[in-house]
Amino acid sequence: MRWANRHTHRWQAEAEWGHPPPPEWFDHYVGLHYMGDAQRHNIAEERGVFASLAVPIGGRVLDLCCGDGFYARHFYANRAEKVVAVDFDADAIHYAKRVNAAPNVSYELRDVRESLPDGQFDTIVWSGAIEHFTAAEVTAILEGVRSRLVARGGVLAGDTIAAGDSVNSHLIHHELEYRDEDDLRHTLEQVFPAVAVWRSEWPSRTELYFYAAQESTAIPLGFASGAHVREKISD
Ligand SMILES: C[S@@+](CC[C@H](N)C(=O)[O-])C[C@H]1O[C@@H](n2cnc3c(N)ncnc32)[C@H](O)[C@@H]1O
């Protein structure tokens, strides 16, 4: 069975990635059952764990640029009261509704450059997607995120591939990749006073993770006390 599982997912990976253009989103089961092993990393699980640490039990979650909905269903919905997951790709939303439906997850077709869903959220996740936007778009989206996070305890959680040194960087969909922790932190600090950024290195690529909030006490676990947090008083 393991042989069949690996090979069916390899065939799916080759069908989706084997010819240009590369997909802007993909089925994470391909990553779990084939690509993560082939590229020698477990970033799919790592990303889900770090983002879900920012989801309180019974919390309200907004998942920006949700792709196939894998994280909404498998990492946020089982802790949250409700998850609103948005993407501007109609095929992604259709796929997410089909393969990653859950009673407390609602999928919405939405371009986050134009608007974000109304409401207040305990956690907003922007996973594997900040690099798909220009600097001006990122700033505008971060402003929208700030206004939708609950003032006390609200957290933005996310991750992005580090620029330049990996097999998957420089995908055509990437508008702006971040070189290192300082580069990404500088962007987030334009809008959030408390920012934690750290890196995770794998043989094939490096991932940058972030939490951002109005106050450092909202940053999960020990990340607030680490060297990568700076407090800055906004105007
Ligand atoms: C690399 S995928 C990441 C998907 C998912 N967050 C994950 O981690 O698997 C990037 C996603 O961003 C979405 N996206 C890009 N630009 C967008 C926009 N302006 N509004 C909403 N979604 C967007 C794409 O459709 C794609 O699903």
Q: Are residues 105 and 9 in the same domain?
A: no
Q: Are residues 177 and 93 in the same domain?
A: yes
- Per-residue confidence band for 235, with pLDDT thresholds at 50, 70 and 90: very low
Q: Are residues 119 and 50 in the same domain?
A: yes
pTM value?
0.92
Residues of the chain with pLDDT > 90, as a percent, come to 66
Asked if residue 67 has its Cβ within 6 Å of ligand 1, the reply is yes
Q: Are residues 177 and 227 in the same domain?
A: yes
Q: Are residues 7 and 97 in the same domain?
A: no
Q: Are residues 28 and 45 in the same domain?
A: no
Q: Are residues 105 and 129 in the same domain?
A: yes
Total domain count, the chain: 2
**Which ligand 1 atom minimizes the distance to the CA of 89?**
25
Q: Are residues 29 and 90 in the same domain?
A: no
What pLDDT is recorded for position 3? 86
Q: Are residues 14 and 111 in the same domain?
A: no
Domain that holds residue 169: 41-231
Asked if residue 88 has its Cβ within 6 Å of ligand 1, the reply is yes
Asked if residue 31 has its Cβ within 6 Å of ligand 1, the reply is no
**Tell me, what CATH number does 103's domain have?**
3.40.50.150
Model confidence pLDDT, tens digit, residues 12-54: 888 888 888 888 898 989 888 888 778 888 899 999 999 999 9
Asked if residue 161 has its Cβ within 6 Å of ligand 1, the reply is no
Is 168 a residue whose pLDDT tops 70?
no
What's the rounded mean pLDDT across residues 98-108?
A: 98
SS3 letters across the chain: CHHHHHHHHHHHHHHHHCCCCCCCCCCHHHHHHHHHHHCCCCHHHHHHHHHHCCCCCCCEEEEECCCCCHHHHHHHCCCCCEEEEEECCHHHHHHHHHHCCCCCEEEEECCCCCCCCCCCECEEEEECCHHHCCHHHHHHHHHHHHHHECCCCCEEEEEEEECCCCCCCCCCCCCCCECCHHHHHHHHHCCCCEEEEEEEECCCCEEEEEEEECCHHHCCHHHHHCCCEEECCCC
What pLDDT is recorded for position 231? 53
